[in-house]
Chain A
Amino acid sequence: MLEYIAKRTLGAVVSLFIVITLIFLLLRMMPMEGYFGAEYDKLSEETRASMLAEKGLDKPVLTQLVEFYKNLLKGDLGKSWIYRPNYPIAKILEKKIPYSLKIGLISMAVSLLVGIPLGAMMARFKGKLGDKIGTAFIAIVEALPTAVLMLFVQLYFSSWFNLSLLFDKDNPSTWILPILSISLLSICTYAMWMRRYMIDNINMDYVKLARAKGVRGGRIMFLHVFKNAFVPMAQFLPGSVLSTIIGSIYVEHLYSIPGTGGLLIDVIQRQDNTMVQTLVLLYAAIGIIGMFLGDLLMALLDPRISFVKKGDDR
């Protein structure tokens, strides 16, 4: 197992290197005009050249790449170009990440605590009233496009419960709506898949054996079926926890939360290359670690799963 972990780590480092290099090269294919924003026409030829030189864009791409890796190995993430000119990226992220992380983690906890039991309940009473109500709830939430649903939640819930439309980090009541908006969707996802996996397990032979032995229905559901049904969901769990850092673009725009939601899209569109590289490095690392931890968690929950080669395996 240790050997497997070591190999995966090595593979992850290689992947990370490829991703970063790829992003670096792709970014250098962006149009030059984009670096000047709206003032492109007003600038003289010399000013433009000096602005490019300042960012190191006049050098050959390979030289830029080597430079970038040298700085990265020193632990220097560089400074933002356009988003907040000449401000260290690490400091920008330091301020933004906690907001997204806190809101994301709370919503994640809420949606797991509500979504999983809801799905289990729906599977337990398949075809009965509970299942029907759950299905209706999921269908209604899923029906509207996310952007519209979130706007609805903001507009109506704020007037019904007299809550503030905007986020204020010192006022806990303004946290409720953003968290609710994010959880609403993930509750549905968790409930939907929990129901699906549990129903797929209900007709398995081990359930029949347990029934034949006289184990009570609830006990079978929660001790046997639930455990088996949770394994496929476990793979995504560490990744989802880690990627709360990325934030939610809709929610953070709507409630003016100064988090990371939509930051990557924003800096890509504004061609702030150093920011893009840092964010991609961060998000890719999160994604890769999440995938790895997911595999480990799956193997931990279900001892029949093994990633280590044995004997005559393919």
Chain B
Amino acid sequence: MAAKKPLFNRQMRRISELDANIQAGLAREEAERAKQAEAEIETVDYTPEQIAALDPALFEPAGFNEEDAERTGYSNYSYWASTFKNFWRNKVARVLIIALIAVLLFAFLQPFFPGQHDPVTINNDPETGIQLMNLAPSSEYWFGTNAIGQDLWARVWAGTRVSVFIGLVVALSDLVVGVIIGMIWGYVRKVDKVMTEIYNVISNVPQTLILILVSYILRPSITTIIISMCMVGWMAMARFIRNQVVIFRDRDFNLASRCLGTSTFRIITKNLLPQMVSVIMLQTALAIPGAIGDEVFLTYIGLGLPTSQASLGNLVEAGRVLMMQKELRYQLIFPAAVVAFITIAFYIIGNAFSDAADPKNHV
């Protein structure tokens, strides 16, 4: 019963909305008719002079305009605008997206604020010249200092910049490459066979091996991390999309399109892609925190960014090692809090956006 009631209410609301529209339309028609009737009465009273004074253009035949004749009611419905409007109705998501933008903006503007420390400089005590190691949070070092005396506040924000940049690049490449390849892989049967085997080959070459070989030639850097993550990431997305396409591939509407001779490109973009907007959105939103998680993993197995390059990955890993010491736990809490916030924000925003993406919930 519980499910029926809101449905019933929604239905009723929609009916009364429609009803109001019809009433408004009827009222407008009525008013127009009254106006016309009035005009007719007035013409009776016109004297010949008045008639002669009327604009002759009024007596031109209207002619036949095909465009006008074909014009029917139209709606200014736009899919993305409605999706966004629906999304904006979700209060939690609205708050989170504003907070997320603020945090990211702050991360990128932080070096320009006055009185900031450098993330890589090792701070020494000006009197004794000893490194300011493991200093608890204070007014000078807001998040304290790490094991070699670097300012954690500056490192956390520098790390956020690096990790978010990596996350965005990787997510974007996953989205574009993964969706394009996944769509073709799923829809075109001939490609399916070849692509499945290519996937089987590439996905089974361990990322660790590639990273070791790459770092043997190049020094580990943001670029090598991004390249190795992009190389792996698109495959998961492509397989995911491919599974979705396989499900929809032989449905009747596609069969109908094929009978009408619709091109493969059009079927993919018009029949299949719109079905998958919600899942693609969620998958992409998860890819950004996912990339940060991957980076933590790479640091864990010793293939992450060098410590001179602060990133959320190596900050969390450095903090994790110190977690057993209670008084040093702040070194884990601060970077972990930023990771947690970014992850939660993207997860909830992604979910809210996916929920709003179904056109049947619009209007």
Contacts and interface: CB of A to CB of B under 8 A. Distances in A.
Interface of B is mostly: helix
Contacts of B208: 264-265, 268-269
A270 to B, nearest CB: 11
Nearest to B281: A196
The number of chain B residues touching the other chain, given as a range, is: 35 or more
A124 B358 CA distance: 16
Given A142-B289, A302-B247, A147 B354 contact: no
A232 interface: yes
Interface in A102-144: 124, 126, 135, 138-140, 142-144
A163 interface: no
B244 A11 contact: no
A119 B317 CA distance: 32
B264 A15 contact: no
B19 to A, nearest CB: 21
Contacts, number: 171
B3 A312 contact: no
Given A23-B209, A135-B348, A284-B204, A147 B317 contact: yes
A197 B243 CA distance: 13
A74 interface: no
Given A22-B201, A135-B348, A268-B209, A147 B188 contact: no
B320 A19 contact: no
B213 A139 contact: no
Interface in A280-304: 280, 283-284, 287-288, 291, 294-295, 298, 302, 304
Interface stretch (A25-33, A40-48, A50-58): A25-33
B328 interface: no
A146 B344 contact: no
A32 to B, nearest CB: 12
Given A29-B213, A305-B250, A312-B258, A142 B354 contact: no
Interface string B335-363: 01001110110011001001100101100
B200 A148 contact: no
A121 B104 CA distance: 34
B200 A284 contact: yes
Nearest to B319: A148
A144 B7 contact: no
B301 interface: yes
B278 interface: yes
A7 B193 contact: yes
Contacts of A291: 196, 199-200, 239
A135 B212 contact: no
Interface in A1-44: 7-8, 11-12, 14-16, 18-19, 22-23, 26-27, 29-31
A269 B302 contact: yes
Contact of A18 (B4, B201, B247): B201
Nearest to B275: A200
Contacts of B206: 23, 264-265, 268, 276, 280
Contacts of A139: 343-344, 347-348
B213 A30 contact: yes
Interface stretch (B28-36, B80-88, B105-113, B291-299): B291-299
A97 interface: no
Contacts of B196: 8, 11, 291
A291 B197 CA distance: 10
Interface string A198-218: 011001000000010000010
A166 interface: no
A306 interface: yes
Contacts of B210: 26
A217 B3 contact: yes
Contacts of A26: 205, 209-210, 213
A146 B296 contact: yes
A305 B289 contact: no
Contact of A314 (B243, B264, B293): B264
A285 B6 CA distance: 50
Given A143-B344, A232-B244, A235-B243, A313 B289 contact: no
B216 interface: yes
B278 to A, nearest CB: 6
Contacts of A203: 358, 360-361
Q: Which 9 residue pairs across A and B have the least CB separation, nearest first?
A: A217-B3, A284-B204, A143-B340, A203-B360, A15-B200, A145-B296, A235-B243, A15-B197, A139-B344
16 contacts: A14-B197, A23-B206, A30-B213, A139-B343, A143-B339, A144-B339, A147-B297, A200-B279, A232-B247, A268-B209, A268-B212, A291-B196, A294-B243, A306-B250, A314-B188, A314-B264
Given A19-B205, A306-B250, 5 more contacts: A30-B212, A203-B361, A269-B301, A298-B246, A309-B189
